[in-house]
A and B are shown apart, each in its own frame.
Chain A
């Protein structure tokens, strides 16, 4: 079974009287364990596609399925549950909860899943150790650098063992060294845990790291290349 299938999905935004096609009947299949980059310039539709795959937005046409579950048949509550258990998100600007520490940000997802306190702490600390933040458990986001915050965001996305991680330009706000280190970390997670990663990016370094590059332009997939 494919991890993600998008079939003829489209998304049209209305700006005043003008209708803008962000995505025009795009189809994409991503298999379990793939490390895929959605590449393209700003406005090409990669973030829109990522949002549709993540169930954060609803398509105007077409169908998205994750692990065989079609979004069109799901209520908003079912979608929230799916996002909680199946999908991890990494956002461009980290989007950590500012009042929580690094450990609490990571453990928050487990709390939503009803995991007990002790197990939450153990799993959150283990994943923070994996991303190299073993000495930053008690730091709030404002006390962490951009790279460290993004590592916490990745740890948060990974901690619940989701089938898929969707990352929207994860290195865009990071310097090249930090970005590279983050990419290596995510690559390791992909290889070690067979987690499916889908990125949106226009960062050459990310595209270099990706095994498969889906190029987009003007809301269409213009190329889909898998490296040997």
Chain B
């Protein structure tokens, strides 16, 4: 009879209580694995939707362009950069963009707008705007001198598909750039800031109009795995071709998105903390009960020569076994649940249409990662061990003669 088998038998003195305790731990571990995976999956969906709408995962720009977007701060040889990015492992698609602010006027109104020159074929692979056309069609190389206009802007300019707009701005070389374009389509991204001030035109038209001589302002890349953003960025920053330029990731480009994710995560952490505290009390209850009801037995065991240290060891073995089984069961069920829903997705019900408007799928997909699998169960393991330590450490303070008087 070694200490491990003694601990094992002690666990099964009260099978129902032990099983309930293990189930509580298991349920909490399962919930944490699934909820964290769901949260991380949702964040990934949000990030992907956001980057596919506006920024991409990575951008190569002229240094300082992100904070001060000046017409003359350009990527002078976009083709070389695009070739480099396209050949980089982990990069899915690449597209060049040039943009500047102009005055856009319709028959009756005038507005300041951001006009972006895009490569329509590449744009379709990178961004979702081509799929968000509500009226008319997306840009095509076969239809020069056309633009697509954000829905709110179209309303403000009182324009529509087939109508003309006059664009007036400043060229790369400082001369006046002016042209008349036809509205080919109206898009609705769902983001007001984009919809009320954005116009897209063919990059070739942009190049001619603003005398760019082949230069662009950004080269945008979409990568295969969101988690590879940081390592890819770091690798690209070291590339001699990109040294004179700035490599920015989605966090640099949309810091607000990361902040809102962090805020949401804090809310989640508070909820998980409460869950872990509830489980800790369940464990505490089990082990306090065990110590109280076995006080007499501890007294006898000490009387016949068992050291308090050995008794504490047996108690902690009991706790670790129950915690281990509970956590393992929770991790397995949590992982299975996550894997199932990562394929099936979770429907967002009434929000499906709303999400679709923003380029997001109406289903959210939990994403199982090493982090989501291990963080919650590890915290539960540590907390339950510490919780079990409290009643176990009462044992060394017992005096055999007093302990044996316990009922």
Contact = CB atoms under 8 A, between A and B. Distances in A.
Contacts of A84: 304-305
B155 interface: no
Contacts of B304: 83-84, 89, 108-109, 112, 156
Interface string B306-349: 11001000000000000000000000000000000000000000
A132 to B, nearest CB: 22
A111 B1 CA distance: 8
B1 A107 contact: yes
A104 B6 CA distance: 10
Contacts of B6: 99-100
A108 B303 contact: no
Contacts of B296: 95
B306 A95 contact: no
Contacts, number: 57
B2 to A, nearest CB: 7
A99 B305 contact: no
A111 B2 CA distance: 8
Contacts of B400: 56-57
**Of residues B10, B305, B307, which shows the largest number of chain A Cβ atoms within 10 Å of its Cβ?**
B305
Range, interface on chain A: 20 to 34
A126 interface: no
Where chain A touches its partner, the secondary structure class is helix
B13 interface: yes
Nearest to B309: A77
Given A104-B1, A111-B1, A97 B303 contact: no
B303 A98 contact: no
Interface string B16-52: 0000000000000000000000000000000000000
B375 interface: no
A64 B387 CA distance: 40
Where chain B touches its partner, the secondary structure class is helix
B125 interface: no
Contact of A54 (B13, B303, B399): B303
B19 to A, nearest CB: 17
A80 B401 contact: no
Contacts of B297: 95, 97-98
Contacts of B303: 54, 56, 83, 89
A51 interface: yes
Contacts of A83: 303-305
B197 interface: no
A54 B401 CA distance: 10
A137 interface: no
Contacts of B2: 111
Contacts of A51: 401
Interface string A94-106: 0101111000100
B125 to A, nearest CB: 67
Contacts of A113: 305
Contacts of B310: 112
B404 interface: yes
A51 B10 CA distance: 28
A80 B307 contact: yes
A56 B305 CA distance: 10
Interface of A: 51, 54, 56-57, 77, 80-81, 83-85, 89, 91, 95, 97-100, 104, 107-109, 111-113, 156
15 contacts: A54-B303, A57-B401, A77-B307, A80-B302, A80-B305, A83-B304, A89-B304, A95-B300, A95-B404, A97-B297, A97-B301, A99-B6, A99-B12, A108-B304, A109-B304
Given A54-B303, A81-B305, A112-B306, 7 more contacts: A56-B303, A57-B399, A80-B305, A89-B303, A95-B296, A104-B1, A109-B305
